[in-house]
Chains A and B, each alone.
Chain A
Amino acid sequence: MYPNPDQRAFITGCGALSPLGRGVPAFWSGLLAGRSGLGPIRSFDTSAYAHAAAGEVADFLPPRDLSAGEGLRLDRISQYALVAAREALSAAALDLAAADRTRVGVILATTLGGMLIGELYQRRRRSGAAFAVRQLLHYPYYAVAARLARELDVRGPVVSPSIACASGTHAVGLALEFIRRGQGEVFIVGGAETICEFVVSGFNCLRATTADTVRPFDARRDGLLLGEGAAVLVVESAAHARARGLEPTVEVAGTALAGDAVHMTAPARDGAGAARAMRAALADAGMEAGAIDFISAHGTGTVYNDAMEVAAISAVFGDATPHIPVNSIKGAIGHTLGAAGAFEAIMCARILDDGVIPPTANCEQIDPACSLDVVRGTPRRHAVRAALSTSSAFAGNNAAIVLQRAS
């Protein structure tokens, strides 16, 4: 029968491969330093593009992180995901060989999946050049999560949440829900993306990208830049973690989704959907808004997203809004789409552990219309017991999660 819904879930390990470097330490120290990993795209010829900067994973050499067979067998996005997953499992000191693998699942979000395979296939089909067609099995969106699940040899639920830019946040929340619902005990959770022409041309044609750089909540902000990489967390039931002798410090306490039902590509200007997701996530965590000490904003650096978020956060937190520290990591690593929320969850976990909030890279002249306390310039020491992370996406999808320090 369905178990006690009060089952709790904890983050017991994290792994990250980002434009700030390999590993969580590089990601975290880069964020704290206010460093930006954005730069000219190097992975394809951008001469036909007006805006051609992004956050790419630099210096990724598969032989260093993967076996020769894995380097040959796996496409780039799967390599990213596997490297980040191994780091997370190692940090969690979790030996899957010793676990009941029917209780271990994978939740890996991606909005692009094996798009590099799809692009290459279409180009070669047109030109008549040779192409190993069996690679196409790894093109669909579900293939990245399935490949990671096969590499890790798990037998629990394997899902690729697909609510565009809110997918990574939902992935973390879904692990909590699956644990509460008895679908598994351990989830390897996160998101992965690779920069490719498909997505760069897409955001260019929507005129959503900037020619300059990403400046979340800045008066001069004028668009986003994309990013790539993989962020993976191990989310584990309290009972499972306890049985392994762990005393985890960060809990996934609540999660929620809400739809705008307004527009396919633009956020609802009033932020009503995002606000409902935040309120529902707080309710799911059994918390009042006053319990939140930090907000990880979606903060894409587009004019409308950031204004929408100011409205949404103000609606939820009212008079307390100017007193809650907020940041965005999009200026540091770009918009990593399906992975964004997972990167943000890793940052929140570090903030909860370390009591220091990284600054928002490139936010220099705060927008006068922004009433948020945007952390910028230097890291801010601040004791955080509970953090809220919010994401919004195409198709009017909004997701929010609440993380808290274990009591």
Chain B
Amino acid sequence: MMPPVVITGLGVVSPLGHSVEALLQGVAASGPPYAHDRERALTVAEIPLEAIPPDKRSRIGRLDRLCRMFLSASYLAVDSAALTIAPAQADRVGLSFGTGLGCLLTNAEYNQKIIEQGPAAASPRLFAYTVSSAAAGEVSIALGIRGPNVTAHMGLAAGLGAVGYGFDLIQMGKADVVLAGGADVLGSALLEGLDDMGLLKAPEQSRPFADAVAGIWPSEGAVVVVLERQDHAGQRGARALGRIDGYGAGFEPSLTRRARECTGISATMRRALDLSGHVPDDIALVLAGAHGTPLDASEQAALAQLFGPSPPLVLAPKAVLGESFAASGVLALALAAGVMRPEAFCGSSLSMAEEGLLEPPVVMVNALCYSGNIVSLVLSREETS
């Protein structure tokens, strides 16, 4: 019997605000139009750097946007979990980070200087942040995390995949606690590239399961969850915000082709169910990865294949949150935890109750990428197995 793994903390940095409550309220308000919807990109107006303790802020000046956002989300998560990482426990705390684009913006900044001024102008400070593991490295230095520390790319599914691997690390006995999550950030080089490719589209063209328009309504964000072996959480009196039951990682090679299939997507969702010990009927709500492109049809077909004639409720958060790359899947996970336990996050009632979205016992969260990467994760409200 594998040890149950629970979520004991959540740190959210998003264009809608820096809390699960802000996500819930944003989605409950039925999505657009927001004030910033007129913009072509949905950005985080101000990264909550105040979440970082004053004695840890000396390095902020050298950090790129990705590092700042992930570091802030990590401190928000640790604070939410009331977790203290003592040096004696540091080897048993891990870090699992997923990012879609990683340090590409820093790479572009570094490259630009070389192109304009030649290699003599190369900046060692910038070069140090041209590895995608820099963000997790900064978090490990700041929080003193010395256990398994890993960063991985799985396209836009990387953030949710990192949560899955964090869950693996705990169940394999390689850590007691893992900070897991994802982040991606916007910048002019990325927006120029998307624009050059004709892949920027307006929020009005980004209605999941309704539009099939190539391109994205770009967004950004970072979410970190504190994953913990249930007995470890219990010993320190931490509250459980949900239990990860399992996940599947997979791939659908046809997603870049005109004739798209759904075999890889449905097999991945099926694997998530099988590994988590659930059957399709257990799932009360699916948070889909759909974002208003032709990919949505493949996800829809896979959902139909898996759930048959009585599908669960489906919520597609990107209608409100835009496409925040690898942050998307973990933003959806944070939202899933929020709708499961609204009382833990919101003082006020939510209109979602009328739609039957609140307090589902088991939720499936999907993250899909046009590259073909897929992760499907099953979250349960139960605190004990």
Contact = CB atoms under 8 A, between A and B. Distances in A.
A118 B271 CA distance: 36
Interface in B216-259: 246, 248-253, 256
Contacts of B161: 159
A121 B256 contact: no
Contacts of B174: 256-257, 280, 284
Interface in B281-317: none
Contacts of A121: 193
Contact of A141 (B94, B153, B263): B153
B154 interface: yes
Contacts of A102: 250, 263-264, 267-268, 271
Interface stretch (A10-18, A58-66, A83-91, A145-153): A145-153
Contacts of B35: none
Contacts of A156: 249-251
A161 B152 contact: yes
Interface in B132-166: 132-134, 136-138, 140-141, 143-155, 158, 161
Interface in A112-157: 115, 118-119, 121-123, 125-126, 133-134, 136-137, 139-143, 145-146, 149-150, 153-157
Contact of B147 (A118, A123, A258): A258
Given A140-B100, A142-B100, A48 B253 contact: no
Interface stretch (A309-317, A371-379, A394-402): A394-402
Contact of A395 (B134, B197, B250): B134
Nearest to A393: B133
Given A157-B250, A158-B251, A163-B151, A202 B140 contact: no
A2 B134 contact: no
Interface string A1-35: 11001000000000000000000000000000000
B215 interface: no
Q: How large is the interface on B (under 10, 10 to 19, 20 to 34, 35 or more residues)?
A: 35 or more
B359 interface: no
Given A142-B371, A155-B253, A205-B122, A198 B114 contact: yes
Contacts of B150: 161, 163, 170, 257, 397
A235 interface: no
A266 to B, nearest CB: 10
Contact of A140 (B104, B131, B140, B146): B104
A157, A182, A200 interface centre (most CB from chain B within 10 Å): A157
B123 A183 contact: no
Nearest to A259: B149
Given A157-B249, A202-B122, A162 B131 contact: yes
B250 A155 contact: yes
A181 interface: yes
Interface in B255-279: 256, 263-264, 267-268, 271, 274-277
Contacts of B102: 140-141, 162
Contact of B110 (A137, A183, A198, A260): A198
A160 interface: yes
A391 interface: no
Given A141-B102, A177-B168, A276 B146 contact: yes
Contact of B246 (A2, A5, A49): A2
A206 interface: yes
A197 interface: yes
Interface string A47-79: 011000000000000000000000000000000
Contacts of B80: none
A133 B151 CA distance: 28
Interface string A251-294: 00000111111111100000001001000100010000000000
B50 interface: no
B119 interface: yes
Contacts, number: 243
B91 A48 contact: no
Contacts of A154: 251, 253
A105 interface: yes
A258 B107 CA distance: 26
A194 interface: no
B115 interface: yes
Nearest to B122: A205
A111 interface: yes
A118 B111 contact: yes
A73 to B, nearest CB: 12
Given A118-B107, A134-B197, A394-B134, A142 B140 contact: no
B147 A262 contact: no
A321 interface: no
Contact of A201 (B114, B141, B154): B114
Given A141-B102, A164-B133, A395-B134, A273 B146 contact: yes
A160 B131 contact: no
B120 interface: yes
Interface string B329-348: 00000000000000000000
Interface of B: 2, 90-91, 94-95, 99-102, 104, 107-108, 110-112, 114-116, 118-120, 122-124, 127-134, 136-138, 140-141, 143-155, 158, 161, 168, 171-172, 174, 192-193, 196-197, 246, 248-253, 256, 263-264, 267-268, 271, 274-277, 369, 371-373
12 contacts: A2-B2, A115-B107, A122-B115, A125-B192, A140-B155, A142-B371, A149-B372, A161-B153, A202-B110, A265-B128, A394-B134, A395-B140
Interface of A: 1-2, 5, 48-49, 102, 105-106, 111, 115, 118-119, 121-123, 125-126, 133-134, 136-137, 139-143, 145-146, 149-150, 153-164, 170, 177-178, 180-183, 197-198, 200-202, 204-206, 256-265, 273, 276, 280, 284, 393-397
Given A154-B251, A394-B133, 18 more contacts: A2-B2, A2-B275, A49-B119, A106-B251, A118-B107, A134-B197, A140-B102, A142-B100, A142-B371, A157-B154, A157-B250, A161-B151, A201-B114, A257-B149, A264-B137, A265-B128, A395-B138, A395-B140
Counting from the closest, the 6 A-B pairs by CB-CB distance are: A395-B137, A259-B149, A157-B249, A205-B122, A155-B264, A142-B153
